[in-house]
Structure 1
Amino acid sequence: MLKHIVMWKLKEQAEGNTNIKNALFMKEMLETLKNSIPEIGMIEVGININSSAVAYDVVLYSEFKNEEAFKIYQDHPEHLKVAEFVGKINEGRVVVDYLD
């Protein structure tokens, strides 16, 4: 199983919205991917409640059967649409992918 974890710091303002509004929209968009990409085994998106300056704003945890399923997800047109939006609203990103 491949586990994919991503955290983002969002811009205070982007695409005409505050960072919290973008975080909520981003969460909805990411969770909806489960409906159109069958390779997603599990997906969970959280919005940060920690006020620390080093905390990230949004976290994604997802699981895939294997690396091939993960590659299909990464290249899927619906994922690419979400990634385009996220690219416009974030100012920092960290990622970890590992096999379990």
Structure 2
Amino acid sequence: MLKHIVMWKLKDEAEGADRATNAREMKRRLDACADIVPGQLTFEVVLAQEGLEATYDVVLYSEFTDRAALQAYIEHPVHKAVVPFIGAIREGRQCMDYEV
């Protein structure tokens, strides 16, 4: 099994909206990527929650059966459609993939 974790820090303002609005829109768009390919086991998008420690604004936690399933997700048109929006609103990104 392969785990794919991505964390984004968003710009204060981008695409005509503030950080909180963009975070909600990003989550909405990423949620549409759940279950788009065979081998996608877990897909969870969460936003930083007030009152809890967070150094990033949006986190994606996902699990795939193998590298081929993750690659299929990355190349899927639904996922590719989200990438330009995220690129426009993000200040920083961290990612880690690992096998268990």
- When the two structures are superposed, what TM-score results if normalisation uses the length of structure 2? 0.90
Q: Please give the alpha-carbon distance, in whole angstroms, between the structure 2 residues aligned to 1:37 and 1:85.
A: 21
1:18-97 superposed matches below 5 A? 18-49=18-49, 55-97=55-97
Provide structure 2 residue ranges, at least 5 long, that are not aligned to the other structure.
Answer: none
Deviation at 1:50, TM superposition (A): 5.5
Q: TM-score, normalised by structure 1?
A: 0.90
Structure 1, unaligned stretches of length 5 or more? none
Mapped contact 1:39–1:73 kept (Cα < 8 A): no
Percent identical pairs in the alignment equals 45
Change (3 A) 1:70 1:35: closer
CA–CA distance in structure 2, aligned partners of residues 89 and 71 of structure 1 = 24
Does the 8 A contact of 1:39 with 1:72 survive in 2? no
What is the alpha-carbon distance in structure 2 between the residues aligned to residue 62 and residue 50 of structure 1?
Answer: 23
Aligned counterparts of 2:42 and 2:88: Cα–Cα separation in 1: 25
Partner Cα separation in structure 2 for residue 20 and residue 49 of structure 1: 11
Superposed CA RMSD in Å reads: 1.9
Runs of 4+ in 1 over 2 A off after TM superposition: 35-40, 49-52
Bigger shift: 84-93 or 38-47? Answer: 38-47
| 1:2 and 1:64 in contact (8 A); partners too | yes
